[in-house]
Amino acid sequence: MSDKLGQRLVWVFAVVGVLGVLAVIFLAVMVAGLGRSERADPAPIDAKAPGDRFAVAETNTLPGINLIEIVIATEKSIDRNRSSYSSGGPTDERNVILLDKASGANRRLLPDNQRSITYRRYLPARVDAQEQASGEYQLVEADGKQRPADVAYYAIGIRSADGKSEDVLLGNLASGRQAMVLKNIDGVDRIWMQSPTRVAFLLRSGRKLMFRAFEAPDLRLVASQPIEID
**How far is residue 154's CA from residue 173's CA, in Å, rounded to a whole number?**
7
Residue 49: Cβ within 10 Å count = 8
Residue 39: per-residue pLDDT = 37
pTM score of the predicted model: 0.74
Question: Which of these, 134, 104, 135, 124, lies nearest to 193 by C-alpha position?
Answer: 124
**How far is residue 163's CA from residue 137's CA, in Å, rounded to a whole number?**
28
b/e burial code for range 155-186 (CB count within 10 A of at least 16 → b): bbbbbeeeeeebbbbbbbbeeeebeebbeebb
Residue 141: per-residue pLDDT = 74
Residue 145: per-residue pLDDT = 82
Residue 24: per-residue pLDDT = 45
Q: Which residues pair with 191 in a beta bridge?
A: 201
Residue 154: Cβ within 10 Å count = 22
Please give the radius of gyration of the chain, using alpha carbons only, rounded to the nearest integer.
28
**How far is residue 53's CA from residue 65's CA, in Å, rounded to a whole number?**
30
Residue 60: per-residue pLDDT = 96
Return the domain boundaries, the chain: 37-114, 115-230
Residue 31: per-residue pLDDT = 36
Query: pLDDT truncated to tens, each residue of the chain (230 aa)?
Result: 555 555 565 555 555 554 554 554 444 434 343 333 333 445 555 555 556 799 999 999 999 999 999 999 999 888 877 765 555 678 999 999 999 999 999 999 999 999 999 999 999 999 976 665 555 677 777 777 888 889 999 999 999 988 899 999 999 999 999 999 999 999 999 999 999 999 999 999 998 999 999 999 999 999 999 999 88
Handedness of CA 155, 159, 161, 167 (dihedral sign): positive
Residue 80: per-residue pLDDT = 77
